[in-house]
Amino acid sequence: MQQWLATTRLTRQVAETAFRARGRRHLARLDRSDGRCQTRILFGLLHRARNTRFGLDHDFSRIRTVADFRRLVPLSTPEELWRRYWQGSFPDLAGTTWPGPLPSLGRLPASSLTGLQAVALSRDLQKAQRCALQTALALLGNVRPQARLFSGRFLFLLDATAPVSPSGEPCDPRALALQRLPFLVRPYAEVALPCHPLQREVTCLVGDEECLLTLLERMKQLTGEESHARIWPNLIAILANRRSPRAPKDSLRARVSAEVLLLETVFRPEGPLAVEDPRHGGLRLLSEHGVYFEFVPFQEAGKPQPRRFGLDEVEVGVPYELVVSSPAGLWACRVGWGVSFERREPPLLRLLEVPQPHVEVAATVRKDARVSFPTQLPHRPGAGIPVALPEKFGHSPWSIPVDRG
């Protein structure tokens, strides 16, 4: 009965009206945001994870400023976090770098840049992903104010990677994907693999670029139609997610007509990074969506302790290596991507590849780390910050040791 009510014409019109009103308010809040939101996000993340193993090892409770965070939490890679904190506890990662409960884990193929094996799909990460998708859909509604998105279905494509529960059992990827969708969209959404597409009326496609190309090829084989316009005549928009800094949307644009709005998103497993803003003509950094960003200049990327800049400190046109801290349990992590800002207000950027020399240096460090890997990571001493005893997992005002010089 509830499903039938959601598909009536009147209900669809009400949902469309509410969706557009909410989208306008969402974009208004986004446009009013400033660089201070990043500081709020950082300290919110630190507060949530202060009692995890990582938080205790790095004295999160003593961090009062962004400078403290940069002194106490050194740069790392997801592979290093995997070996230091996650591998020994997998699949139950709760309390390692992010507090539990963790509903599920994303199991990922190893990357040549990061070596990431798994990522915690926490409720905070799901909230950030849901907010990012709301931003993308709000921008879509802003560009096509007369389009009837709710007259058909939203088709969300899954990749082949299945999430697992903390007990190691496979989770239902469709149910997990629906939890990351905005509430108003859920009754009108279908989740499918590219090889098992939806052949009913579709108004919006959402998925990775590779999955979208696979879907179009699969539909061509099933229907014999060359054009998507004959398969889904009411298709309005495509949200194409980018998983590589060198993966342009040109190949996808060549497969769809100009009438279909094609928006690019950059939603990584570690957290949402950017979305294409047609109002400004570029990728917009999602600085308000639960992820804290830092930027390392390319010329310092190979140094053991490079300078780290916040969003309010970057310069236009300077290439930076991207560093993220997110509710996936990543802290000051190099994700293997670079950016160059075209504007600061709003923060518009281009994605870049990290220079090859840095990748070689990182690979060498990881190779050496396999030989002698520490069981825990003590924080780095900084100016005015005493060194923590390696055997201590927590500190009180009476247990802070004297600085050993």
- Mean pLDDT along residues 359-384: 38
Q: Pick the residue with more confidence: 368 or 371?
A: 368
Q: How far apart are CA 145 and CA 264, in angstroms?
A: 19
pLDDT surpassing 60 at residue 11: yes
Contact (Cβ atoms closer than 8 angstroms) between residue 178 and residue 5: no
pLDDT confidence tier of residue 171, bands split at 50, 70 and 90: low
Over residues 98-125, mean pLDDT: 66
Q: Which of 100-109, 206-215, 248-257 has the highest mean pLDDT?
A: 206-215
Name the more confident of 2 and 152: 152
pLDDT at 371: 29
% of the chain with per-residue pLDDT over 70 = 76
Share of the chain above pLDDT 90, in %: 40
5 pLDDT exceeds 60?
Answer: no
Q: What pLDDT shows up at residue 382?
A: 44
Write out pLDDT tens, residues 282-338: 999 999 999 999 999 999 877 888 999 999 999 999 999 999 999 989 999 998 899
Give the residue, 118 or 272, on which the prediction is more confident. 272
Least confident piece of the model among 120-124, 153-157, 363-367, 372-376: 372-376
pLDDT of residue 147 exceeding 70: yes
Q: Are 296 and 321 in contact (CB under 8 A)?
A: yes
Asked if residue 3 has pLDDT above 70, the reply is no
Res 398: pLDDT: 39
Query: N- to C-terminal Cα distance for the chain?
Result: 71
| Selection from 264, 252, 259 nearest residue 216 by Cα | 252
Averaged over 180-187, what is the pLDDT? 87
Domains contained in the chain, CATH given: 33-104+292-326+328-386 (no CATH), 123-288 (3.40.50)
Between 83 and 136, where is the model more confident? 136
User: What is the mean predicted confidence (pLDDT) over 92-96?
Assistant: 85
Asked if residue 118 lies in contact with residue 108, where contact means CB atoms within 8 angstroms, the answer is yes
What mean pLDDT comes out for the span 22-42? Answer: 89
Q: Give the per-residue pLDDT at 60.
A: 95
> 318-350 burial by CB neighbour count: b if 16+ within 10 A, else e?
ebbbbbbbbbbbbbbbbbbbbbbbeeeeebbbe
pLDDT higher than threshold 70 for residue 395? no
In this prediction, residue 269 carries a pLDDT of: 84
Check whether 176 has a pLDDT greater than 80.
no
At residue 64 the predicted structure's pLDDT band, cuts being 50, 70 and 90, is very high
Mean pLDDT across the chain, nearest whole number? 79
Torsion sign, CA atoms 296, 294, 139, 9? positive
**Whether the predicted pLDDT of 256 surpasses 60:** yes
pLDDT of residue 68: 96
In this prediction, residue 137 has a pLDDT band, given cuts at 50, 70 and 90, of: very high
pLDDT of residue 106: 65
Indicate the pLDDT class of residue 238, thresholds 50, 70 and 90. very high
Q: Are 314 and 321 in contact (CB under 8 A)?
A: no
Mean local confidence (pLDDT), 259-265: 92
For residue 287, what pLDDT is reported? 92
What burial letters (b/e) apply to 259-273, b meaning 16+ CB within 10 Å?
ebbbbbbbbbbbbbb
Per-residue pLDDT band for 355 (boundaries 50, 70, 90) equals confident
pTM, entire model: 0.81
Helices then strands (H, E): number in the chain? 12, 13
Q: What pLDDT does 101 receive?
A: 79
